Structure 1
Amino acid sequence: MNVSDVRPLIGITTYYQHATWGVWNGEAAILPGNYLHAVVDAGGIPVLLPPRGTGTKVLDTLDGLLVIGGSDVDPSRYGENAHPTTEFDTERDSHDFALLGAAEALGLPILCVCRGAQVLNVAHGGSLLQHLPDVLPEGERYRCAPGVFSDTRITIDPESLAHSILGDSCTVSSYHHQGLDRIGKGLLVTARSADGLPQILESTDDSWLIATQYHPEEKRLEDRRLFAAFVAACGSRTEAVSDTKPTPSEEITE
């Protein structure tokens, strides 16, 4: 069998916005390239999921789900009014929440990044800090300037899945103005930065679920461990599902 036939299929959420390139000027479904490269480098086959029109049935064909970063979550989902700095897309929220919930129900390995971690927390009944400078004026500088990432040192719980992948601590790339506040049901904080802000969430059960407030795809060339572990988990699930399917000689025909 060709190697490409057995690589796991990784669904990746995207976002919809105005874009311009060449003579084109219009709306587009967009995925920052580093997410794509990180999945491919780790041995996965990326499947881009447009933020309009994608149904949860597509997850039946996939081996894992990557929920990427982007705009804020609608604060009405966690019972708050919007802060002046909060910007959200209700259609994208509906799309990402539906896909994430369905992926959890199917037991797919899931990796959530930045906004993805916030979607996960809110989906489990948690809440967000809508603007970190209001509550952590002396904390880490998570967003230095538009499009500029900052380095953040995180410390990881030794009993966690993240620790088995990343060790005691590591330096990560941050770009966000919101953070995790009340942690949702069934989730556990397994890494924090020096200012106490949660940086990694995991499931309290044995699901392969990691959500990072930071952006692991930005350090993909120097630290491939998290994406490698995620794609490996998706590959293990692929093999397990394949093992339960009958081979042609085992199929019963009438």
Structure 2
Amino acid sequence: MENRPLIGITTYLERARWGVWEQSAALLPAAYPALVQAAGGLAVLLPPDDPGRAPSVAARLDGLVVAGGPDIAPDRYGAEPHPRTAATAPERDAWESALIRAAAAARLPLLGVCRGMQLLNVVRGGTLVQHLPEAVGHQGHCPTPGVFTRHPVRPVPGTALAALLPEAELAVPTYHHQAVDRLGSGLRVCARAADGTVEALEGDGPGFLLGVQWHPERDGDLRVVRALVAAAGG
């Protein structure tokens, strides 16, 4: 009997329309579960829930993906909101923060994608750049609303990510206007863009803890998610 690791993926909670219906819906781009499935895992969706239930959810999973989405509320990292910050998902902020803490307590392999990486940094006490073009002087990380672009990232030699992605530079799918600023505790930078923007974080201890600012679900490169699934199956 096949025994694939069970990988939870967090979801949006949005008003949506399909067929004759328009209702509140738990949403996730299908590319996320498809990527987990292609990498050898079983995907289960985790809509926002009572944060107090996060430890019991983590106990039933083999691995966790914290998906991309809207900006994180700046008060979670002690900042005033920037005019371009659109923090529209307080229920996700609370639920996913609790899941990240529960995953750490359970030593559950975790991958944060885009917003998921940023929230991992915030939960660990770090901060964010709220509007990246003001910091780097260009729009290259998110040039067109609603359209993914690609830009090169450079894994940091000697990190676990560099062992997983040994290229000196690789082009990745990207769509973000915020980024990691002050690094959270227990994390280290493992990839950067040419302009210095933090593009990936990993835990500095044992176990699988990785955040990528790009969107592996928009690419054919399975290596990052295969590593998560392998750690979850171990």
If the length of structure 1 is used for normalisation, what is the TM-score? 0.88
Aligned to 1:246: none
* 1:160 to partner: Cα distance: 1.0
Q: Deviations over 1:26-52 (max 9, x none)?
A: 110001111110000011011111113
Q: Trace 1:60-209 onto structure 2 (pairs within 5 A).
A: 60-88=59-87, 89-138=89-138, 141-167=140-166, 168-209=168-209
Aligned to 2:231: 233
Q: Deviations over 1:53-88 (max 9, x none)?
A: 472111111101100000111100111111111112
Unaligned runs of 5+ in 1: 237-254
In structure 1, what is the Cα distance between the partners aligned to 2:27 and 2:68? Answer: 12
* 1:144 to partner: Cα distance: 2.0
* 1:207 to partner: Cα distance: 2.2
Unaligned runs of 5+ in 2: none
Pair 1:210 & 2:210 matched = yes
- Alignment root-mean-square deviation, CA: 1.1
* 1:136 to partner: Cα distance: 1.3
| Larger of the two Rg values belongs to structure | 1
Q: Deviations over 1:209-253 (max 9, x none)?
A: 11001111110x2x11111111111111xxxxxxxxxxxxxxxxx
Q: Which runs of 4+ in 1 moved over 3 A?
A: none
In structure 1, what is the Cα distance between the partners aligned to 2:57 and 2:19? Answer: 32
What SS is found at the alignment partner of 1:155? Answer: strand
Code of the residue aligned with 1:151 in structure 2: it is R
In structure 2, what is the Cα distance between the partners aligned to 1:23 and 1:146? Answer: 28
Q: Deviations over 1:168-190 (max 9, x none)?
A: 32110110110110001111001
In structure 2, what is the Cα distance between the partners aligned to 1:145 and 1:169? Answer: 23
In structure 2, what is the Cα distance between the partners aligned to 1:169 and 1:202? Answer: 18
In structure 1, what is the Cα distance between the partners aligned to 2:140 and 2:49? Answer: 33
Aligned to 2:31: 34
What SS is found at the alignment partner of 2:143? Answer: strand
Deviates more, 1:167-176 or 1:96-105: 167-176
In structure 1, what is the Cα distance between the partners aligned to 2:58 and 2:49? Answer: 15
In structure 2, what is the Cα distance between the partners aligned to 1:137 and 1:173? Answer: 20
Code of the residue aligned with 1:197 in structure 2: it is T
* 1:197 to partner: Cα distance: 0.3
Question: Percent of pairs identical after alignment?
Answer: 46
What SS is found at the alignment partner of 1:77? Answer: helix
If the length of structure 2 is used for normalisation, what is the TM-score? 0.95
* 1:152 to partner: Cα distance: 1.2
In structure 2, what is the Cα distance between the partners aligned to 1:10 and 1:75? Answer: 29
Code of the residue aligned with 1:32 in structure 2: it is P
